[in-house]
């Protein structure tokens, strides 16, 4: 028998009151724990995973060869405003990733939930797959919205970046426009890693003179990997694939964004990173908009190549209740970061008319908080903890 954990409910209540949040395009999950008298031994080796019996890895995973595929029309369409091209990019990234993920899943298709803001200032498309044989929960969300910056949003933007503070007057009103794609995938098999991706372009306009064009515009995003069990070759492949995409535009991007990712995705209260990293950047405006747009295209496309083959590689591995319980514990830590530290949700929840279901999409369907869980020294679980408590150059 399952019940909603009182601890989780209390944390959620307090964090919601404090305004803690996730990122653009995240969704709600269910935090569950088993009653004390039915919690199995963490070392239980009963084989689970009956779903893996019918799984087949496709000979070819679609959309994983972006370097050799023809570029879409919007890629070089400089006659079209950049915000419209970014909208086309995030919709394209959404469609290509959904097709790639569905190529592994025999029992479910993504539902497409298109929504409109009540004030008419934008829309979103939430593609969600739950309770599949390969994916316990996966979300690929697009948001294209505009509005007026709330005072708290403006203050947060100015505080995090001195350059932004110099360009935005604290006493002036500004409108914003943003297009972004946000992805979180929680596979069912504990050996298949969770992953996250987010790419967006943000524009800020003076409310009194929007026709003059954006006062400020930047790109942000990245991708990171969160395994419950560490396969070093998988992590190296993931990082090397992202590095290749970065190096094609600037050899300094990968080391810079990799360090940024390690720093940002940290559960400070546990002194560990959320996973094994990737790349992360924000407020990126160090090159011409056209160059940065092409970088966002390549980095967003590289995620499909970097991640989906890892799910295919691990989704048929046999596992036991021990691995399942550890996966749920790690998902609890994942949720902790998203609710306590992720600043993207702060922006989402501070935006009037925000769609909460989509904002909280990244939370796992199930998670576990086990009192004083300590893996045995030398165990695979302890090996994972060592990896998230140190910094490693995975792209070597």
Hey, which residues does 179 pair with through a beta bridge? 144, 201
Q: Locate 55 and state its tokens.
A: 């799984």
Q: Spell out the residues 6+ positions from residue 294 whose beta carbon is closer than 8 angstroms to its own.
A: 75, 249
Residue listed under structure tokens 């050899």 = 251
Tokens of 374: 């300590």
CA dihedral 67, 68, 70, 76 (to 10 degrees): 40
Residue 385's contacts (CB-CB under 8 Å, 6 or more residues apart) are 272, 375
CB atoms within 10 A of CB 247: 13
Neighbour count for residue 51 (Cβ, 10 Å): 16
Name the catalytic one among 196, 239, 249, 333: 196
The residue with tokens 């535009």 is 249
Distance CA(262)–CA(280), nearest Å, equals: 8
154 phi/psi in degrees, rounded to 5: -60, -45
186 annotated active-site: no
Give, in order, the Cα–Cα distances in Å from 148 to each of 151, 220, 245. Answer: 9, 20, 34
Tell me the catalytic residues. Answer: 196
């Amino acid at each position: 028998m399952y019940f909603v954990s009182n601890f989780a409910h209390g944390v959620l209540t307090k964090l919601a009151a404090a305004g803690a949040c996730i990122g653009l395009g995240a969704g709600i999950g269910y935090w569950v724990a088993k009653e004390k008298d039915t919690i199995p031994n963490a070392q239980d080796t009963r084989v689970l995973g009956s779903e893996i019996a019918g799984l087949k890895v496709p000979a070819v995973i679609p959309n994983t060869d972006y370097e050799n595929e023809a570029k879409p029309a919007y890629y070089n369409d400089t006659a079209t405003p950049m915000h419209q091209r970014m909208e086309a990019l995030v919709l394209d990234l959404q469609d290509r990733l959904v097709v790639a993920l569905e190529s592994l899943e025999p029992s479910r298709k993504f539902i497409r939930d298109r929504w409109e803001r009540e004030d008419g200032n934008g829309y979103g498309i939430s593609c969600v797959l739950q309770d599949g044989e390969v994916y316990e929960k996966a979300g690929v969300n697009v948001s294209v919205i505009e509005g007026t910056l709330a005072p708290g949003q403006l203050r947060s933007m100015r505080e995090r970046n001195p350059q932004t503070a110099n360009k935005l007057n604290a006493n002036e009103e500004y409108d914003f426009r943003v297009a972004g794609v946000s992805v979180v995938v929680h596979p069912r098999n504990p050996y298949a890693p969770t992953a996250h991706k987010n790419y967006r372009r943000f524009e800020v306009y003076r409310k009194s003179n929007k026709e003059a064009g954006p006062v400020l515009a930047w790109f942000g995003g990245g991708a990171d990997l969160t395994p419950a069990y560490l396969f070093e070759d998988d992590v190296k492949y993931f990082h090397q694939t992202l590095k290749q995409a970065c190096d094609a535009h600037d050899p300094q991007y990968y080391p810079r964004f990799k360090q940024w990712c390690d720093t940002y995705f940290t559960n400070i209260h546990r002194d560990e990173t959320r996973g094994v990293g990737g790349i992360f950047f924000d407020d990126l405006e160090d090159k011409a908009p056209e160059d940065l747009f092409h970088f966002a295209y390549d980095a967003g496309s590289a995620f499909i190549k970097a991640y989906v083959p890892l799910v295919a590689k691990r989704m048929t591995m046999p596992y036991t209740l021990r691995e399942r319980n550890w996966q749920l514990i790690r998902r609890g830590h994942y949720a902790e970061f998203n609710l306590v530290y992720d600043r993207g949700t702060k922006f989402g929840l501070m935006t009037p008319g925000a769609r909460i279901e989509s904002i909280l999409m990244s939370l796992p369907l199930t998670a576990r908080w086990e009192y004083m869980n300590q893996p045995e020294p030398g165990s695979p679980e302890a090996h994972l903890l060592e990896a998230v408590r140190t910094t490693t150059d995975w792209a070597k």
